[in-house]
């Protein structure tokens, strides 16, 4: 169900400070049936409290690839380490980058909602990120706990129509580039860092 732990070496920043490595993280894909969104999010918060992990759920129809979320984790960690984060919570900062938006209320639309849907739940260890003020996380325990909340996903593909609408990607923009939709979305994630 997960893609394993991902890490990326330090690459440095323009101001000479080293960038933090991409925090270890895992992605749990599955189908969730949410009757009460607040109760579901409270369960994720409980997993975070018990394991020390950052736990953030995404609507799988709007996640174009594992690399999409990996980039968001890396950029959120860098923003936190540099003291440039918009959100106090690392999970929300990750969501901002994944959504390619600086407005928290708009970025939250990338999350899950009530009803049955495919989800991607990220569990990450921000314990080693300066400024995150997080303990070291037990990712194995966090992953197991999240897996108990999900059923196997029905499909692995994102919803192209919803992605183009959410990220504002036009047919004209796609025709003008050699990149595919997933590449354009990852570019939006990367450009958010430049737009600060």
More confident residue, 142 or 186: 142
Q: What letter does residue 151 receive in the DSSP assignment?
A: B
- Assign residue 64 a region (left: φ > 0; alpha: ψ between -120 and 50; beta: otherwise): alpha
Contact 26, 2 (CB under 8 A): yes
Helix (H, G, I), strand (E, B) or coil at 147: helix
Please write the tens of the pLDDT for every residue from 3-35: 444 433 334 444 455 567 899 999 999 999 999
Q: Is the dihedral of CA 118, 182, 91, 102 positive or negative?
A: negative
pTM: 0.84
Give residue 10's pLDDT: 39
CA dist., res. 147 & res. 67, Å (int)? 21
Q: What are 103-142's pLDDT values in tens digits?
A: 999 999 999 999 999 999 999 999 999 999 999 999 999 9
> Would the pLDDT of 183 be above 70?
yes
Q: Is the distance from CB of 24 to CB of 124 less than 8 angstroms?
A: yes
Question: How many other CB atoms are found less than 10 A from the CB of residue 42?
Answer: 10
């Amino acid at each position: 169900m997960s893609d394993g732990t991902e890490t990326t070496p330090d690459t440095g920043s323009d101001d000479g400070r080293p960038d933090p490595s991409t925090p270890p993280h895992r992605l749990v894909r599955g189908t969730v049936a949410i009757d009460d969104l607040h109760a579901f999010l409270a369960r994720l918060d409980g997993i975070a409290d018990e394991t020390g992990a950052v736990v953030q759920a995404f609507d799988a129809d709007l996640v174009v690839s594992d690399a999409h979320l990996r980039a968001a984790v890396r950029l959120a960690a860098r923003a936190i380490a540099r003291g440039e984060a918009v959100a106090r919570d690392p999970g929300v900062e990750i969501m901002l980058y994944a959504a390619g938006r600086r407005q928290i209320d708009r970025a939250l639309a990338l999350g899950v909602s009530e009803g049955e849907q495919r989800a991607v739940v990220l569990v990450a260890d921000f314990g080693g990120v300066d400024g995150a003020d997080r303990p070291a996380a037990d990712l194995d325990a966090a992953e197991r706990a999240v897996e108990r909340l999900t059923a196997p996903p029905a499909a692995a593909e994102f919803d192209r129509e919803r992605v183009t609408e959410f990220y504002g990607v036009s047919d004209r923009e796609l025709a003008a580039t050699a990149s595919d939709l997933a590449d354009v979305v990852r570019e939006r994630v990367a450009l958010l860092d430049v737009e600060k």
